[in-house]
Amino acid sequence: MSSKRAPAPPPQLPGFSYVQVLGSGGFADVYLYEQALPRRRVAVKVLLADKMTSGVAEQFQAEANVMAMLSTHPAIVTIYQAGVSDDGRSYLVMEYCSKPNLQVRARSAPISVAESLRVGIQVAAAVETAHRAGILHRDIKPANILVTEYNRPALTDFGIATTAEGTDPSAGMSIPWSPPESFADAPDFTVRSDVWALGATVYNLLAGRSPFEVPGGRNGGADLIRRIESEPLARLERADVPVSLFQVLERSMSKRPGDRYESAVAFARALQKVQIELAHSVTPIDILDDAPPVEDEEEEGELTRVRGIVSIDPHTAPAAGPTWERSALAAGLGTGVDATARRDTSAWAPVDTGTNTGSDATMLRPPTAIPPSAPVTTAADEGTIVRGPQRIPAATAPTAPVSPPADTGSPQATAPAPPAPSRKGLWIGLIAAAVVAIVVVGAVVVASLLTPPAEEAAPSTSPSAAPVPQDPVAEFIAPPTEGESSVGGGKATFRWINPDPQEGDTYLWQQVRLDGGEATAANVRETSVTVPLGTDTQVCIDVSVRRENGSTSDPLRICATS
């Protein structure tokens, strides 16, 4: 492995202990530190000393401000703090994501349809949040999507992000994921340009390569630009990718910006519909919106009605009924309609039965229609609509029966009181009730003895049973252990142990590049690899266990020193 430049010495930061280098780029180095209080591992991005010019320093500060403003979103890398080291270098302290980024994973093997849809929706929600804050990312690609300890994607690298009115939209873009308009003489980068990059990213996860890259062909910058500007999107050569998903990607990557989805959230909704078609668990869209609520109906149905900070979870529907509505209104909770907009209850008049004590059990309510502003659930949209509160009609609500008084011709007339039952009749009734109770209990006991246990019952084979949605979140996979290394003959050999081997297990490994370049990842079946040492004195690799379904473990880093 040859290095274009050695990483700069790590700065001394109060409260942090240096661990190792994570990577290097043209303007900054990234190091792994351990924070003393609270104790945790963090990634620290440090600007190079010779780049501390006014323009670069201002851009670095702008990146810190942008990420701090957006990093509370669950799909954006969290910024903990920023500052200037004792030797005068600016730095950012960020969340450390130890798992391989999505570019590394996609190059080793295409990612499953379920995970690609989930990641696409979560990252699109992060991009939509940035757009609503007036920020264009402009460099969305798999390498800029890290993976947290909880297998959630985390968008990073807002170094070239700009406001929607930015004056330099062409700086620093990555050609394979950039839209046609970015290569014009007067580049024009808009919200729909980020939508293109979102579609290109999901395509990359499914295909294992960028959308206009030709395997085995010429893939230089000029070749890619020509294809992006003039050639149609190639079909995905995967039998498990439905036509509807390719159509979503094709629309998001239309040559004309006006033909694409108008927003990142519209792209996310389209992916949700594919999940519904495939009977997958529908991923919620997390959006931060400080704007006033918009009540206009959307063309495709209200899959995402936003109120403040919203997690659009299709599996959560509030129970209907007065108890839920009172508690939600009292707490001021968002429910898909304004929590303070109480329904008119003037028509809910109590019916006096002579024993009314104010309890709901004696309130006979007439049926109440759902207000027009509340979204209506349909079969196609089930699982993606946030329902407003609705009340169970009185005809189905459990209320006490009310018997009308006898008609005697006069509203003031009262029926004569029935004669009191005799004591003898009372005793006869009690004895009869006891006998009936004994018979019922005996029948229940006999039935329970004759009924087989629930687990012995034959499973239902009804062909009309609806498919059960599957959760695409992968199970925990134990990472490799006991890493070893040896150096000899100009090569470094690395070995590891799989603590929980399963049939079909392979191992995803990647050489750690300190020069900031893209290292090639590989998938192997053996528990060892050999890497040329070159002119370097140290070589490191990251290796993870990869299950047959595509899920991967946390990586183990092994280093060899000559």
Same domain, 268 and 158: yes
Q: What is the CATH number of the domain that holds 487?
A: 2.60.40.10
- 47 and 117: one domain? no
Same domain membership, residue 235 and residue 186:
yes
**C-alpha–C-alpha distance, residues 144 and 102, integer Å:** 8
Q: What is the pLDDT of residue 5?
A: 72
| pLDDT exceeds 60 at position 234 | yes
- The residue among 283, 317, 340 that closes a domain is 283
Residue 53 pLDDT: 72
Domain end (from 72, 96, 120): 96
- Regarding whether 61 and 158 lie in a shared domain, the answer is no
pLDDT tens digit string along 455-465?
Answer: 444 444 444 44
Q: What is the pLDDT, as a whole number, of residue 336?
A: 38
For residue 166, the model assigns a pLDDT of: 44
The better pLDDT of the pair 99, 388 is held by 99
pLDDT in tens, 181-200: 988 888 888 999 999 999 99
In-domain check, residue 296: no
- 122 vs 452, higher pLDDT: 122
Q: What is the CATH number of the domain that holds 90?
A: 3.30.200.20
- Is residue 490 assigned to a domain? yes
Q: What is the pLDDT of residue 425?
A: 63
- The number of domains in the chain is 3
Residues 86 and 142 in one domain: no
Could you tell me if 112 and 47 lie in one domain?
A: no
**30 and 126: one domain?**
no
Go through 360-387 and write b for each residue having 16 or more CB atoms within 10 A of its CB, e for each that does not. Answer: eebbebeebeeeeebbeeeeebebbbbb
Domain-located, residue 306: no
The more confidently predicted of residues 58 and 170 is: 58
* Residues 113, 16 share a domain: no
Position 341 in a domain: no
d(Cα 351, Cα 365) in Å, to the nearest integer?
Answer: 9
CA distances to 21, 74, 210, 410, 556 from 92, rounded to whole Å, are 15, 19, 30, 87, 25
Q: SS3 string of 408-420? A: CCCCCCCCCCCCC
Task: Report yes or no on 63 lying in a domain.
Answer: yes
Extract the runs of DSSP E, i.e. beta strands, from 386-537: 481-488, 491-497, 506-511, 521-524, 528-532
Are both 65 and 126 inside the same structural domain?
no
Say yes or no to pLDDT of 79 above 80.
yes
Characterize the bridge pairing of strands 309-312 and 285-288: antiparallel
Nearest Cα neighbor of 471 from 115, 179, 155 is: 115
Query: Which H or E element spans position 59?
Result: helix 54-70
When pLDDT is cut at 50, 70 and 90, the band that residue 158 belongs to is confident
Q: Identify whether residues 142 and 214 lie together within a single domain.
A: yes
250, 283, 316 - which closes a domain: 283
pLDDT of residue 480 exceeding 60: yes
Q: Which amino acid is at 497?
A: I
Domain boundaries, position 143: 98-283
Question: Among the listed ranges 31-35, 60-64, 511-515, 537-541, which one has the minimum average pLDDT value?
Answer: 511-515
CATH of the domain at 120: 1.10.510.10
119 versus 445: which is more confidently predicted?
119
Q: What is the mean pLDDT of residues 434-442?
A: 73
Please check whether residue 76 lies inside any domain of the structure. yes
- Spatial CA neighbour of 388 closest among 308, 311, 302, 446: 302
User: What is the per-residue DSSP string for 286-331?
Assistant: EEE--SPPP-SPPTT--S----SEEEE-TT--PPPSHHHHHHHHHH
Percent of the chain with pLDDT over 70: 64
pLDDT at 42: 96
Return the minimum-mean-pLDDT range out of 34-43, 61-70, 350-359. 350-359
- Do 15 and 66 sit in the same domain of this protein? yes
Residue with the larger pLDDT of the pair 492 and 445 = 492
Q: Predicted confidence band at 231 (pLDDT cuts at 50, 70, 90)?
A: very high
Return phi, psi of residue 82, to 5°: -145, 160
Instruction: Write out pLDDT tens, residues 136-153.
Output: 988 899 999 999 988 999
Is 471 a domain residue? Answer: no
Asked if the structure places residue 511 within a domain, the reply is: yes
* pLDDT recorded at residue 69: 86
Res 275 pLDDT > 80: yes
Query: Does pLDDT of 363 surpass 90?
Result: no
Shared domain check, 159 and 78: no
DSSP three-state, residue 150 = coil
Phi, psi (5° rounding) for residue 51?
Answer: -105, 5
> Is 492's pLDDT higher than 80?
yes
* Predicted pLDDT of residue 194: 95
Output the pTM of the full model.
0.54
Say what the pLDDT of residue 257 is. 95
* For residues 356-363, average pLDDT: 42
